[in-house]
Structure 1
């Protein structure tokens, strides 16, 4: 059965691979953990990757977490991002020390975004401020999707991000200041859309804080 499962997980048809991952998750087999993790690094289909992650969460954390932590050092970006995603789903805080600054500032945007979400999910009590400081170094980075992901991760940490945002507000880089202002608005007004928060930050930057004060 194990060899059949391995062959099915590597089959040319994504539907066959999806069914195989479902089967492994339904009847967990620790001997297949390495195969599941290895497959995550190369699987091209999003839905199959998601099922592989689910299958891994069905296995004991003692069998999966160390193997996934090892993947965080992979040279393959997908291996790192998928391992991070799976660790966030498992939710074992013992993985926290493996969420390094290098991962939080990874050159690959997908890896970095996943690292931000995973770090927020696993951060232990008392370490939120330090995490916020590292995340704030990424303000102004990437496209709108990346910036929104970072803002959401920061906001999820709560009011303790305010010192980091204040520091970023004095950055010599306009895009960093704008992103920090938009994130602060989302923190205090969760219902505000990110695009609206960005436009407001641009307007305040262009007209100065007095413009907002005059409207109130």
Structure 2
């Protein structure tokens, strides 16, 4: 009970220590408290420790609890549950990564869904996942776009057809994002920002200048 109380203490260092203690000596009885705290914990480092503690428990206990959280109305609950599922890596969670989560209006939830999806997706579903992710080219700020590109790159060469389609889009931001992703696929050290910046110039100068600005 002292550990449970400490998980909700006012001090983040106390909550962090409590999560560490729970993970060091995992007990199934702590699952509900850990999952509930993930949904509301404001400190990033504490959330990460809560996730670690959950990975220390049997997946047959944690995964069903986390799947319930995916339907929460609270974005953090969905995002953290997805993040934890990606760390657990149990393939049985794949069906819970729904299209609505992959397209969630909250960027953090969507990013967590992309990362979880590429960890959990079976080989036979990779092409479908690539097509689903590619529908969101051009979404969000730099961090969101880079997360999407990294998720697609993690799928490997199976993404090449969707990249070719996106690079022929009428939307210059979609084209640029697809080009940046293709470059990351070929060369992980390539400059993602340069390609996205080129797209902004295309928008400003007009499509007739695309060839000169995208180089």
1:160-214 Cα offsets, whole Å, 9 max, x none, are 11111122223222211111111112212222021123345667866455x69xx
Q: 1:92 aligns with which of 87, 90, 96?
A: 90
1:69 and 2:67 correspond: yes
1:12-68 Cα offsets, whole Å, 9 max, x none, are 111111111111111111011000000000000111101100000000001100000
Q: Secondary structure at the match of 1:133?
A: helix
Aligned partners of 1:84 and 1:115 also within 8 Å = yes
Equivalent position of 2:180 in the other structure: 182
Q: Which runs of 5+ in 2 are unaligned?
A: none
Equivalent position of 1:110 in the other structure: 108
| Displacement of 1:118 | 0.7
In 1, Cα distance between equivalents of 2:183 and 2:52? 35
Aligned partners of 1:186 and 1:197 also within 8 Å = no
Equivalent position of 1:147 in the other structure: 145
Aligned partners of 1:105 and 1:112 also within 8 Å = yes
1:20-169 aligned within 5 A: 20-169=18-167
Q: Which runs of 5+ in 1 are unaligned?
A: none
Aligned partners of 1:182 and 1:200 also within 8 Å = no
In 1, Cα distance between equivalents of 2:19 and 2:152? 33
In 2, Cα distance between equivalents of 1:206 and 1:33? 58
Aligned partners of 2:9 and 2:15 also within 8 Å = yes
In 2, Cα distance between equivalents of 1:176 and 1:142? 11
Structure 1 stretch 185-194 or stretch 15-24: which is displaced more? 185-194
TM-score w.r.t. structure 2 length? 0.92
Query: Number of aligned pairs?
Result: 210
Aligned partners of 2:173 and 2:199 also within 8 Å = no
Q: 1:9 aligns with which of 4, 7, 13?
A: 7
In 1, Cα distance between equivalents of 2:54 and 2:91? 16
In 2, Cα distance between equivalents of 1:158 and 1:201? 24
Say if 1:151 and 1:206 are closer, same or farther in 2 by CA, change over 3 A.
farther
